[in-house]
Amino acid sequence: MIKLLKKKNNDILINNYYYSRFSKKNTKFSVSKKIDILSHYKWWFNNKRDFYFYKNTNKKFIYFWSEVNFFKKRKYCTCGFHVDNKINIIDIIKTYKIFLKHLKKKYKFPIVGITEKKNLFIIKINKDLGFKRILDKQSPEYIFLRKKFMINKNFSNYIFFSMKD
């Protein structure tokens, strides 16, 4: 069973999020770079993200986030996740489906994201769950993602995704 715990300001969850997020496994395919814990706290209390903490029966966490973004008079939802070590792949897939269902219900505008080309698991699961690759490098979604995640060089190392209603 997977349980949603939505408590952004819970100290234990803030610390768990940090240590899980910057574990070696989770930074392998990350667009962002590791920061010290004090900078994490500052970021945590000043960002615009909504966080969703899911816990499975083995007390392992899956951490999701979403954020509403505005770019050239358009709205986009960006989202992402990372997991604790040794979590069941089935739990990841089930929880990701639940999370995306929630986002599609909540937002009536595109959900967009980015991943490294080497991250075959995310590429596969995103395709299976309804994301489409953004191939047009001039599309507003593509340009937005490059700016949002500061991908100025080596953007051919990334896959850009979009999911619309």
pLDDT tens-digit profile of 5-44? 766 556 778 888 888 777 766 666 666 677 788 988 898 8
Number of domains in the chain: 1
What integer pLDDT is reported at residue 139 of this predicted model? Answer: 95
Q: Is the pLDDT of residue 102 over 60?
A: yes
Q: What is the CATH number of the domain that holds 110?
A: 3.40.630.30
Per-residue confidence band for 164, with pLDDT thresholds at 50, 70 and 90: confident
With pLDDT > 70 as the criterion, what percentage of the chain qualifies?
90
pLDDT tens-digit profile of 75-101? 999 999 988 888 888 999 999 999 999
| Strand-by-strand arrangement of the 158-163 sheet | 3-5, 50-55, 61-71, 74-83, 111-116, 158-163, 132-133
Q: What is the DSSP string of 3-38?
A: EEE--TT-HHHHHHHHHHHTSHHHHTT-SS----HH
What integer pLDDT is reported at residue 21 of this predicted model? Answer: 78
Domain with 48 in it:
3-163
Longest dimension (CA), the chain: 45
Across the strands, what pairs with 81?
64
